[in-house]
Amino acid sequence: MASRIFWCLLSLTIVLWSPRAYSETVTETSVKDVSEHSEQPEITRIEPLGGKVGDTITIYGKNFGNDRKKIKIQFIDPETNKQKEIKPIEPVFLAKVPDKQEYQLRFMTEERRLLDNIWLKRSVPINLIVNDQPSNYMTFTLVTVNWEYKIAFLTILLLIVLLIFQAFAIKKVNFLKSVVLDHRTNTYSLSRCQAFVWTFVLIGSYFYLAVGKSLIFGKGVIPDFNPSLLVLMGISYGGSLAAEQLNRFFPKKDLTPPPPRLINLISEGGEVSLPRLQLVGFTITAIVIYLYNLSGADFLSKGLPDIPPTLLGLLGISQGGYLGGKLVGGRMSVNYILPRRVPINKDVELSIIGSGFDDKTKILVQDYPGLLDPERHNENYLSLKLLNFGQAGSKDMVLVPPAGGGSLVLRDVLEVVDAKIEKIERLPNVKQVKLTLKDFYPDEIQGTVAGKPATVIPDNKDKNQIILEAREDIRTGDPISIASLDGELKADIQAL
């Protein structure tokens, strides 16, 4: 009897418990399936926000799943306003974003037809389909293949407008020379040139970034300027300001032949200066590397390229070496020697203008034996009287200070010439004659006919020939004179 009661109770328990367990199992499974199916994919960001056909695009978001075969990428066709699937040119790659509840999906597209008849860009809405569930839309900007050249062209136009505005503001067309010229020595200033070139390059690159982002993305966000570029500007302008101050006490040891020459940037006193050469070399190298990386930089997402700390260090060391060279070079300098061209076999007086001249300074001149005693007018002015050179050619000079100072060597500071008129020819125009000259600079001479000023017309084909045009008809026997603008070189002849 007891066993029958036990089996009855057991059977009743099984009957009552089994439907509940089955119901709970079905419910859990159903909820789980519905939960997984209801997790809609979400795009949180796209990097970069723009690019050209063939670039790699990374989409970040949630609920992408783990099976890339179940993911479809589609866009809204601007022509038909309908959804179309993107066919990637490489397999879709999925990866879990570290420390974030996100996935990244990378692909490349070849939808070239989207850019038909487009000058620069086209905005394309993109979304995903994961397990037949659509995500939200994000806009990707597709740009043309040659978009960099178009932005660079607009940037150059902006720079030209900026230069024109500056020229108009200071009412001087050729204002660049006054910016980079050291007026004390009439030579190009290395520190000013470096600061100006870097300013021009960085303004241009920032225009390139700002114009590109504004035209492509159309966002009213001011692009950021890299901290490394600020450091670079600090090095450049700090060196320029320090050089200006040092030039007051340690002027550049260089002559001032008209016009200024680019060799002034790496030379001093007629010789190549190693600190200057190093600074010029590293500056040019840094500019070339920066522009090369700028042309290939993906600044649509990354901005302007950074200057590596090691390169900034090299530029800083070069700038320090350049400034240190001014400090250890001594105070004595020569900036002007007048005249620079003297006639052969004639007595001349030389004026030497510079700084740091001691009252016991001696001068050694090529072709003259022994040291000469100049007349010291003040710390900035010496003169040598009644020099006579019997041999044409360039001459060197050495300034020798008192014991304890360093000599200053000046290469090719004088040019001794045999200036004369070698030939005269009459022309069909009775007011003109053609002269063949020797050792004259056609653009630095003046002439007279019969004691009256005449017009000098240089011959573009032969630098040794000029046409002299008088105010009146030139008659046979009229005296014709040619002289340099400084009056040191003269030559006479009579009209045929």
Catalogue all structural domains in the chain, each as residue range(s) with its CATH number.
42-143 (2.60.40.10), 148-328 (no CATH), 333-417 (2.60.40.10), 420-494 (2.60.40.10)
397 beta partners: 365, 410
Q: Which amino acid is at 226?
A: N
For each of the chain's 496 residues, which pLDDT tens digit applies? Answer: 444 444 444 443 433 334 333 333 333 322 333 334 448 889 888 887 777 777 778 888 888 887 777 888 888 877 777 777 777 766 677 888 877 777 777 777 666 667 677 787 878 888 888 888 888 888 888 787 777 788 888 888 988 888 888 888 777 777 777 778 777 777 788 888 888 889 888 888 888 888 877 777 766 667 777 788 888 888 888 888 887 777 766 666 666 656 677 877 887 766 778 888 888 888 898 888 888 888 765 666 677 888 888 888 888 888 888 887 766 655 677 878 888 888 998 888 898 888 878 888 888 898 888 888 898 888 888 998 878 888 889 888 888 887 656 678 888 888 899 988 999 998 999 899 999 998 888 888 999 998 899 999 988 888 889 999 998 898 888 999 999 887 888 889 988 7
CB neighbours of 442 closer than 8 A, spacing ≥ 6? 456, 458, 459, 463, 464, 465, 466
pTM: 0.61
Read off the tokens for 454. Answer: 């005449």
- Starting at the earlier edge strand, list the strands of the sheet with 432-438: 420-426, 432-438, 465-469, 452-458, 445-449, 479-484, 490-494
CA distance linking residue 328 with residue 322, whole number of Å: 10
Give yes or no for a contact between 389 and 342, defined as CB atoms under 8 angstroms apart: yes
> How many other CB atoms are there within 10 angstroms of residue 18's CB atom?
10
408-417 and 341-343 as β-strands: parallel, antiparallel, unpaired?
A: parallel
**What are the distances in angstroms from CA 195 to CA 237, 240, 468?**
6, 7, 45
Alpha helices in 269-406 (DSSP H): 274-296, 309-328
Read off the tokens for 390. Answer: 């019997």
pLDDT at position 35: 35
Q: How far apart are the first and last CA of the chain?
A: 164
Q: Which of 427, 428, 422, 195 is nearest to 319 (CA)?
A: 195
Any idea how long the chain is? 496
pLDDT at position 454: 92
Task: With H, G, I as helix, E, B as strand and everything else as coil, classify residue 398.
Answer: strand
Read off the tokens for 121. Answer: 């860009």
Burial class from Cβ neighbours inside 10 Å (0-12, 13-18, 19+) for residue 304 reads buried
DSSP state of 360: T
Q: Which of 188, 187, 223, 185 is nearest to 207 (CA)?
A: 223
DSSP state of 257: -
DSSP state of 289: H
45 beta partners: 60
DSSP secondary structure, 427-470, as one string: -SSTTEEEEEEES--GGGEEEEETTEEEEEEE-SS-TTEEEEE-
pLDDT at position 448: 92
181-182 and 187-188 as β-strands: parallel, antiparallel, unpaired?
A: antiparallel
Task: With H, G, I as helix, E, B as strand and everything else as coil, classify residue 297.
Answer: coil
**What are the distances in angstroms from CA 181 to CA 164, 260, 413?**
19, 8, 21
**What are the distances in angstroms from CA 167 to CA 12, 158, 259, 375?**
105, 14, 21, 44
